[in-house]
Every structure is written in structure tokens, then in C-alpha cells.
């Protein structure tokens, strides 16, 4: 989770008359008119304080100024769930400030703070990973008991990015071609670090410490010939993670099509972000180079890299990846290095991501389709909704079957057998690589 986040606003105070002043003037005039009409001096005297007070307020118009509003948030644990502690710092010379506070895009509270510096605090339980509007404030300054009001400020919001949990698979499949020399995988070229390869005549560039004197004494054909022991090199794989952000389907089917994160349960993007970061962490731990792409137009991307710093950058990019916009039904095709393994993370509900996965497979890349649809809760569905759900799931089953027929491994991330699926995909890649040698 992000450790800290900040946002701020300098709010100009430009004063205008409030309803209190209008009521005071209207009340004074009304009481004076009634007193004159009824010849009642006591009624006129009753309205005199209102008239004097209104006159005093009109003559003492406050000077324009500036108020400061600062939003801060820090990570916090609340039981077994992640949470964030937010605070609103207000510094103003007005009598008081009225604050309208929004959490997760919905109005949650109204608060008032007095002159000077004040702090309001809130706690939000984070049920989902990814970007969220943690806290937002709209403010208005009030002075002279409401006689003068400032304009409503701009809405200042504090965005929060919650990274998913990391559940590294024990084995991550590798690409069909191992190119680098810094990984942990057995390469196909002679080098250092791998298993024994063969005995070979000494050639320029061979290290003297590799000379096998016993083999030389036993198998050298001519005096002066030397034989060296050669080993396989250790190579790294190119890993590309492609996350489909067109859909965000929750566990509760009745919540599909509604923006209700409190009732949706675990969503497909929650599992997609978790799978992306988990696969990346396992691959980088094995010395591989990882690239990340969100398939929506304008989606976030991170170029291929390795190491702990790259993993930290990838963690931030994955945490900032949310559902696609209005054009999310379109997909972009990122550039994939030759000989890569591509993990396509999607619900495969519309088949577009499956088409891209098939094209990558046809281009010679190894492809693993990671199904991130959560286990479904079909309670509280009408008959029409059940028919629509079954139709969608039937189409999705055909899409997944077509992927398998194209030679693409399909792994269900929400299933307890995902570890088995990853191992099977890794075994298949090893067999294909061995067949090319």
C-alpha cells in the first residue's frame, strides 16, 4: 500500500451577502411597517435591533483573503483488512468553515471547523486494490454569523493507489527463446553457471581453468592438444504481462453493471492486478525481464526491466491501473519482443483479448491465458438475469476452448489449481524449447 499521499488547495475568500443579512433587513422593514400601520411603538422597537445589526454587517464587509486546505493520508491496518487514515487540515481567518466530505466518490459527512487551524480525520477500509478517490472536500467560509459567505471552493480530491497482495507461483513458464546471460534458466549456449555440456578442444577465448587434464591425457589426439569442460549458460526470459481492463466483474453477479464496490465482492480486476504483480514478482525473482501493458487505449505501460527497483515501479503502475474508459471495448496491441512469453490476464467475456492472444501465439510467442473471473455468487438473480448469465458463460467457455485448441495454456487464477496450471505451462515450454535444440 502507498505509504503517504497529499493534496492541497489555496482557496480565495471572495465574500458575498448571505441569507442571514437578507432576513435581517427584511425582518426590520417588516416590523417597522407593521408598527407604523398599527401605531405600535413596541413593534417598531423590536425591529430596530434587526435594522441596526443589518446596517452594522453591511458596513463591516470582511476583506478578501485566502484559506488553506490540505489533505493527507497514510496507510493503516484495521484488523485483517487494509485501511487508510485521512486527515483534513484547514487554516482560515473566517469565523468558521463548512466542509462537505466525500469518500469513494460519495458524500459521507458534513463538518464545520472554527477560525485558525483545525484537523478533521477519517478512516477508509480498502476492500479492493487499484486506484480510488480516498477523500475529497468542498469548502465554504462563513463569517459574522452567516451574514457573509464565500464562494464554494473547487473540489480537492486525494487519490489513493492500493497495490494487490503478492501470491507468487512456485514456477513461472519461460519464453521459447532464452537470450540473456543473467537469469537462472538453463540456456542453449555454452557459458557459465549451468549444467555440464560437453568436452571440447581448447579454442581462443576459453579459460585456462576450464582445461580438463584427465580428459586431455586420455583423449588428446596429438601432443599439445588441450580439452576443456564446457557448461551451459544461465539465461533469462522475456516476460510480458498484458492486463485487459475492459471489464470489472464482481463475485456477486447481481452487482454487474453497477458501480457498487461495497457489494460486488472480489472483482476481476482485483484478481487481475494480483495475478500481474504475483507473476512479475516471481519472474523477476528468477532473473527474468518483465514488461507490463494495460490493453485499453491509453492504458499504462512499463518497459521491460528487471531487479528490485523495476519491481517497485511495476508495483506502482499495477496499483494505478483501473477499469478502462468509454473506449475500453477497443484494445491496443503493444509491441512484444521476439521469443517472449505473454501472460494475457482477462475475463475473456467478449473474445477480443482471446483474439490478441491467438495472434501472439501465431507470431511465435509462448502465451498463457490467465482467467481472472472470480467465483460467482448467483443469488438474488431474476430469471432473465440467469438466462443472460448462462449465455455469457457459454460463450466464454467456447472462447477458452478455442484458446486451448490454439496451443495456449489456460490458467484460472481464482481456482485452487492455478499452481498446477502454471507448472503444466512451464513443462510444456521446456518440452518445446528442448525440441528446437
Strands (E), 236-355: 238-243, 289-294, 301-305, 341-346
Listed residue (311, 371, 360) closest to 334, CA to CA? 360
Which residues are CB-neighbours of 406 under 8 A, at least 6 positions away?
A: 357, 358, 361, 362
Last-in-domain residue among 235, 253, 268: 235
The answer to whether the beta carbons of residues 343 and 370 sit under 8 Å apart is yes
**Inside any domain, residue 79:** yes
Alpha-helical regions (H) of 81-239 = 213-219
Listed residue (366, 42, 363) closest to 177, CA to CA? 366
**Inside any domain, residue 175:** no
Last-in-domain residue among 162, 195, 220: 162
Same domain? 392 vs 431: yes
Q: Would you give the distance in Å from CA 435 to the centre of its chain?
A: 39
**Inside any domain, residue 342:** yes
Containing structural domain, residue 212: 185-235
The answer to whether the beta carbons of residues 32 and 49 sit under 8 Å apart is no
Same domain? 310 vs 355: yes
Strands (E), 104-220: 106-126, 130-143, 148-150, 156-162, 185-201
Same domain? 288 vs 210: no
The answer to whether the beta carbons of residues 294 and 276 sit under 8 Å apart is no
Q: What is the DSSP string of 127-138?
A: -S-EEEEEEEEE
The answer to whether the beta carbons of residues 244 and 342 sit under 8 Å apart is no
Same domain? 117 vs 217: no
Which grid coordinates belong to 380? Answer: 438474488
Which residues are CB-neighbours of 231 under 8 A, at least 6 positions away?
A: 190, 191, 192, 193, 194, 195, 196, 197
Same domain? 260 vs 354: yes
Angle between helices 268-285 and 308-319 (to 10 degrees): 170
pTM listed for this prediction: 0.79
Which grid coordinates belong to 301? Answer: 505501460
Please state, in angstroms and rounded to a whole number, the distance separating the CA atoms of residues 283 and 307: 10
Residue 393, helix vs strand vs coil: helix
Please state, in angstroms and rounded to a whole number, the distance separating the CA atoms of residues 278 and 280: 5
Please state, in angstroms and rounded to a whole number, the distance separating the CA atoms of residues 377 and 361: 33
Which grid coordinates belong to 152? Answer: 464554494
Which grid coordinates belong to 324? Answer: 478502462
Question: 10 Å Cβ neighbour count for 185?
Answer: 20
Same domain? 158 vs 190: no
**Inside any domain, residue 177:** no
What is the count of structural domains for the chain? Answer: 3
Listed residue (220, 191, 193) closest to 206, CA to CA? 191
**Inside any domain, residue 178:** no
Same domain? 282 vs 218: no
**Inside any domain, residue 289:** yes
Q: What are the tens digits of pLDDT across the range 24-70?
A: 888 888 888 888 888 888 888 888 888 888 888 888 888 888 888 88
Same domain? 390 vs 283: yes
Same domain? 269 vs 415: yes
Which residues are CB-neighbours of 44 under 8 A, at least 6 positions away?
A: 31, 32, 35, 36
Listed residue (374, 371, 162, 163) closest to 266, CA to CA? 374
pLDDT at 195: 56
Residue that has been written with the C-alpha cell 489513493 in this structure: 160
Q: Would you give the distance in Å from CA 309 to the centre of its chain?
A: 18
Residue 233, helix vs strand vs coil: strand
pLDDT at 240: 95
Tell me what percent of the chain is helix, strand and coil, each rounded to the nearest 5.
Answer: 30, 35, 30
Q: What is the mean pLDDT of each run of 10 residues along the chain (437 residues)?
A: 74 86 82 84 82 82 86 76 80 85 83 77 83 89 86 89 90 76 58 61 76 77 78 75 91 84 88 95 89 88 91 94 73 84 92 91 92 91 91 94 93 88 83 65
Which grid coordinates belong to 253? Answer: 453477479
**Inside any domain, residue 8:** yes
Same domain? 192 vs 244: no
Same domain? 250 vs 214: no
Same domain? 291 vs 411: yes
Amino acid at each position: 500500500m502507498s505509504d503517504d499521499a497529499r493534496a492541497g488547495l489555496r482557496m480565495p475568500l471572495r465574500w458575498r451577502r448571505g441569507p442571514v443579512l437578507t432576513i435581517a433587513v427584511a425582518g426590520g422593514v417588516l416590523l417597522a411597517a407593521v408598527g407604523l400601520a398599527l401605531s405600535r411603538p413596541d413593534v417598531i422597537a423590536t425591529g430596530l435591533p434587526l435594522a441596526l445589526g443589518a446596517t452594522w454587517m453591511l458596513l463591516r464587509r470582511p476583506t478578501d483573503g485566502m484559506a488553506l486546505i490540505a489533505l493527507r493520508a497514510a496507510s493503516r491496518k484495521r484488523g485483517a483488512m487494509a485501511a487508510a487514515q485521512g486527515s483534513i487540515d484547514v487554516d482560515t481567518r473566517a469565523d468558521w468553515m463548512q466542509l462537505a466530505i466525500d469518500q469513494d466518490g460519495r458524500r459521507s459527512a458534513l463538518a464545520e471547523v472554527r477560525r485558525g487551524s483545525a484537523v478533521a480525520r477519517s478512516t477508509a477500509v480498502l476492500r479492493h486494490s487499484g486506484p480510488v478517490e480516498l477523500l475529497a472536500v468542498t469548502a465554504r467560509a462563513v463569517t459574522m454569523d452567516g451574514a457573509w459567505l464565500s464562494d464554494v471552493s473547487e473540489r480537492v480530491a486525494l487519490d489513493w493507489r492500493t497495490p494487490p497482495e503478492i501470491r507468487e507461483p512456485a514456477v513461472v513458464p519461460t519464453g521459447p527463446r532464452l537470450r540473456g546471460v543473467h537469469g537462472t534458466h538453463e540456456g542453449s549456449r555454452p557459458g557459465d553457471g549451468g549444467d555440464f555440456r560437453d568436452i571440447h578442444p581448447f579454442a581462443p577465448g576459453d579459460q585456462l581453468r576450464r582445461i580438463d587434464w584427465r580428459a586431455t591425457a586420455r583423449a588428446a589426439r596429438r601432443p599439445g592438444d588441450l580439452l576443456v569442460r564446457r557448461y551451459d549458460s544461465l539465461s533469462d526470459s522475456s516476460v510480458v504481462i498484458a492486463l485487459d481492463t475492459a471489464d470489472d466483474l464482481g463475485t456477486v453477479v447481481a452487482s454487474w453493471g453497477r458501480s457498487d464496490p461495497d457489494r460486488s465482492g472480489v472483482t476481476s480486476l482485483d484478481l487481475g492486478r494480483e495475478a500481474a504483480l504475483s507473476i512479475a514478482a516471481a519472474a523477476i525473482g528468477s532473473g527474468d525481464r518483465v514488461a507490463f501493458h494495460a490493453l485499453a487505449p491509453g492504458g499504462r505501460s512499463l518497459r521491460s526491466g528487471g531487479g528490485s527497483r523495476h519491481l517497485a515501479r511495476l508495483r506502482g503502475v499495477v496499483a494505478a491501473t483501473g477499469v478502462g474508459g468509454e473506449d475500453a471495448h477497443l484494445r491496443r496491441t503493444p509491441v512484444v519482443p521476439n521469443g517472449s512469453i505473454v501472460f494475457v490476464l482477462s475475463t475473456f467475456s467478449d473474445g477480443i483479448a482471446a483474439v490478441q492472444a491467438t495472434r501472439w501465439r501465431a507470431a511465435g510467442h509462448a502465451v498463457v491465458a490467465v482467467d481472472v473471473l472470480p467465483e460467482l455468487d448467483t443469488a438474488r438473480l431474476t430469471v432473465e438475469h440467469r438466462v443472460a448469465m448462462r449465455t455469457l458463460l457459454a460463450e466464454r467457455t467456447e472462447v477458452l476452448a478455442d484458446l486451448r485448441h490454439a496451443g495456449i495454456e489456460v490458467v484460472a487464477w481464482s481456482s485452487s489449481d492455478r499452481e498446477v496450471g502454471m507448472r503444466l505451462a512451464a513443462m510444456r515450454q521446456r518440452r518445446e524449447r528442448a525440441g528446437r535444440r
